[in-house]
Amino acid sequence: MTAAITGVGAYAPRFRISAEAFQDAWGQFQASGVTEKAVAAADEDALTMAYEAADRALEAADVDPETVDWLAFASSTPPLAEEDLTARLGAMLEVSDSATRHVFTGSTRAGTRALWAGMDALEAEASTGLVVAADAPQGDPDDGIDHAAGAGAAAFVIERDGPAEIVDRAEYATPYPGTRFRATGEDATQGLGVTQYDRSAFTETIGGAVSGLEVDPDPTAVAIQAPDGKLPYRAAGAAGVGTDEIQAAATVHELGDLGAASVPVSLVSALEDGYERILGVSHGSGAGADAFVVDVDGDVPAETTLERDESLSYAEYLRQRGVVTTGPPSGGGAYVSVPSWHRSIPQRYTLEAGRCPECGSLAFPPEGACADCNALEEYEPVHLSGEGEIEAVTTISQGGAPPEFAEQQGRSGDYAAAIVALESGDGDETASIAAMGTDAAPDAFAVGDRIETTIRRVYTQEGVTRYGFKVRPAE
């Protein structure tokens, strides 16, 4: 059997900034064809967006994450330059500790590189694969790279048989240094800005990859790399496709440049819309390109969250990115060592509570004496469902956040802090826990409202970011 895509997910942050907001701030907007772009919130990064997309893909495919035996994470902007982030991502999703894992980075081709590797692994020995691409590139504030830079993620569940198969693929590379690069230790991606040179690198490598295909693509939709909203259409001739087919799968106009997630998110969009033959073409500076043809026979289950509408001003955009905030305060915060945080990962990632063996009540976290009967017995593990109801809520404003949360409060503004009753897996019991709100303004949280959990950045100490659950209004 040939490896196939059996479910997909995609995610983009809720914030948007328009081309007009950049125009007002800079007197010009240098990202042609982009009307608005997605902006990661202060507590989001490529890893948390990867979790959001992967969770949706697993749900769409109706796959138990414990059955995943091959996991890949791709990003040109991972939150850490050196760390196997699939360890954290796998724990967040409850993927088996023994699953094979790979990280792909260093290029905007990383997303398609990961997808190809996943297909190869499934055709060799793996049984269920999960490929996730997430990115949030940024540039210097006054250049076109930053004006175009968006944020988003896509995920693919791969199994031995399914409705969407890659039936042909090819690649091409030739040296074009300086087209797009990010120096070691730098956050901003740069380019020389030599228009004809950049365009030649893009079109030559894309044309070379497509010409290497053995089958005639003849696509009804084209998922093509989109550094801005204009360059993909300039490569239509090199790819041998029409602009209508590019437009059919385009997400750049509303989400911006998604880096390594650009082609994956467009591919998910095309699969969700029911296109039967899709040409995917990624491009990475250096320069190289991947081309592949996807044949679709039947519906591909999809869960996506791409259409959001919370608009930012340019000042708010800089604030979410931390450009105009002062950073964490010196000292005074509650210190939690990394080993202590590690011990609490089952609670922070997968909501593991404990049942008292004496009285049957739930405890979260599952430690110490039972609050109901004072028994000092070892708790029986119970996973909470991630859904529940708000019991009490308040708003944390400037000056009110604990020092370790002060940097996030400075970037995100006021946030909700709540006591929520999270339900057990069968919904018959609840455990009351304290939680931070996310994904909405504080006034969106009220006593009695339904909530759901997600995973976000909590804070950073000693250079190590702590991730954990937060709550948001239930969809």
3-class DSSP assignment, residue 73: strand
pLDDT digits (tens, 9 = 90+) for 49-81: 999 999 999 999 999 999 999 999 999 999 999
Report residue 37 CA to chain centroid gap: 15
Spatial neighbors of 58 by CB under 8 A, at least 6 apart, are 7, 9, 64, 65, 68, 93, 130, 155, 157
With contact defined as beta carbons under 8 Å apart, do 266 and 251 qualify? yes
> Which amino acid, 429?
E
pLDDT for res 331: 57
Give the count of beta carbons closer than 10 Å to the beta carbon of residue 139: 21
Tokens of 422: 């999270």
Residue 332's pLDDT is what? 55
Residue 425 has pLDDT above 90, yes or no: no
Asked if residue 7 has pLDDT above 90, the reply is yes
Beta carbons within 8 Å of 456's beta carbon, 6+ residues apart: 41, 43, 44, 48, 438, 467, 468, 470
Residue 181 half-sphere exposure, CB side, CA atoms within 13 Å?
11
At residue 271, does pLDDT exceed 90? Answer: yes
Please state the rounded mean pLDDT for residues 224-229: 96
Burial of 185 (0-12, 13-18, 19+ CB in 10 A): exposed
pLDDT over threshold 60, residue 330: no
Q: Three-state SS for 413?
A: coil
Higher confidence at residue 402 or residue 233? 233
Residue 205 has pLDDT above 90, yes or no: yes
For 423: left if phi > 0, alpha if psi spans -120 to 50, otherwise beta; the answer is: beta
Closest CA to 228 of 315, 143, 320, 111: 143
Q: What is the pLDDT of residue 453?
A: 96
Q: How many CB atoms lie within 10 A of CB 324?
A: 13
Whether the Cβ atoms of residue 167 and residue 215 lie closer than 8 Å to each other: yes
Phi and psi at residue 92, to the nearest 5°: -60, -35
What is residue 259's DSSP assignment?
G
Is the predicted pLDDT of residue 35 greater than 80, yes or no? Answer: yes
Instruction: Find out whether 85 and 73 touch, Cβ atoms under 8 Å.
Output: yes
Residue 169 has pLDDT above 60, yes or no: yes
Tokens of 234: 């300039």
Query: Does residue 130 carry a pLDDT above 90?
Result: yes
Q: What is the mean pLDDT of residues 187-194?
A: 87
**3-class SS of residue 172:** strand
**Tell me, what's the pLDDT at 335?**
76
Backbone angles phi, psi at 465, to 5 degrees: -80, 130
Where are the alpha helices (H) located in 287-363, listed in sequence order? 314-321, 338-343, 345-350
Q: How confident is the model at residue 333 (pLDDT cuts 50, 70, 90)?
A: low
CA pair distance 368, 339, nearest whole angstrom: 18
Q: Would you state the pLDDT for residue 459?
A: 87
Cα angle 82-8-224, degrees, rounded to a multiple of 5: 75
411 and 318 in contact (C-beta within 8 Å)? no
Domains within the chain, CATH numbers bracketed: 4-321 (3.40.47.10), 338-473 (no CATH)
pLDDT at position 424: 85
Residue 325: pLDDT over 70: no
Torsion of CA 313, 319, 322, 325, to 10 degrees: 150
